[in-house]
Amino acid sequence: MTASLSLPLHADGVNLSMEELLAYKNQAVFWSTPTKSLWSALAGQHKSAHIGRGMDFNEVRLYQPGDDIRAIDWRVTARTGKPHTKLFSEERERPVMLLLDNSGSMHFGSTLLLKSVQAAHFASLVSWIAAREKDRIGMVVYNGHRLRDCRPTARQEGPLRAIHTMIESHYESLHQKPGKLIMSAAIKQLCYLCPKGSDIVIISDFYALKQSSHSLLDDLRKHNQSFLFMFLTP
């Protein structure tokens, strides 16, 4: 974050502070798998269809020629009198890319908070859930004036960079007149940064989404899993 920004320390529903977005780190545990959760409902448990020697036990079945003898389950073998082997499901990382709309139409809301603030809270929660699932997190933020982005990064660095990006973009959008940058530019940047096989989360009211952007979204869906969240004025 640039030193020139004078950012608020406490949540007021209009500005964004580091403290209020960091608070979702502790909330992520209540949403994470294996419990029924937001992220498990969105993206599943990130397990590949490949069965082999991995981190998580999957099942026991009868031994077949070619199976690794190191995986034999000797207890089941002794109990049944027939050789059985353990199977493991392999965990595979899925990068998570967020696109957050922070343009002028998002700066409306109830007496409690702006849509843009609520959307940033949701984006922070998703990023911390993804980090807890050991996925890399990246982000593109669009505010009508300029694009800010951060490439997919693992562990806590991913959510922290996303939070800094959101705060900077939000502060700029509050203190400038509406910009002319269109949303398709943000989607193009997302296409550029997004590794194939990513989970894409787009958070917006979609007022700035033009018909010409639909083909870009279709291209993203060819190689990635996409989730669109629409924020309406309460």
pLDDT tens-digit profile of 149-204?
A: 999 998 889 999 999 999 999 999 888 877 777 888 899 999 888 888 889 999 99
Distance CA 104, CA 91 (A): 40
Residue 109 DSSP label: B
Count of domains in the chain? 2
Same domain, 63 and 109: no
Q: Find out whether 14 and 111 touch, Cβ atoms under 8 Å.
A: no
For 106-136, how does the pLDDT look when each residue is reduced to its tens digit (9 = 90+)? 988 877 889 999 999 999 999 999 888 888 9
- Examine residue 8 and state whether it is found in any structural domain, yes or no: no
Helix 183-193 to helix 214-223 angle, to the nearest 10 degrees?
A: 20
Using the predicted structure, report yes or no on whether residue 52 has a pLDDT greater than 50.
no
Q: With respect to residue 12, please indicate whether it lies within any of the assigned structural domains.
A: no
User: Is residue 4 situated within a structural domain?
Assistant: no
pTM of the model: 0.72
Examine the domain organization and report whether 100 and 120 are in the same domain: yes
**Claim to verify: residue 145 and residue 178 sit in the same structural domain:** yes
In which domain, by residue range, is 206 found? 18-36+94-230
The predicted-structure confidence for 74-83, as pLDDT tens digits, reads as follows 999 999 999 9
Token reading at 193? 């940064």
Q: Given its phi and psi angles, is residue 14 left (phi above 0), alpha (psi -120 to 50 degrees) or beta? A: alpha
In a domain, 11, yes or no: no
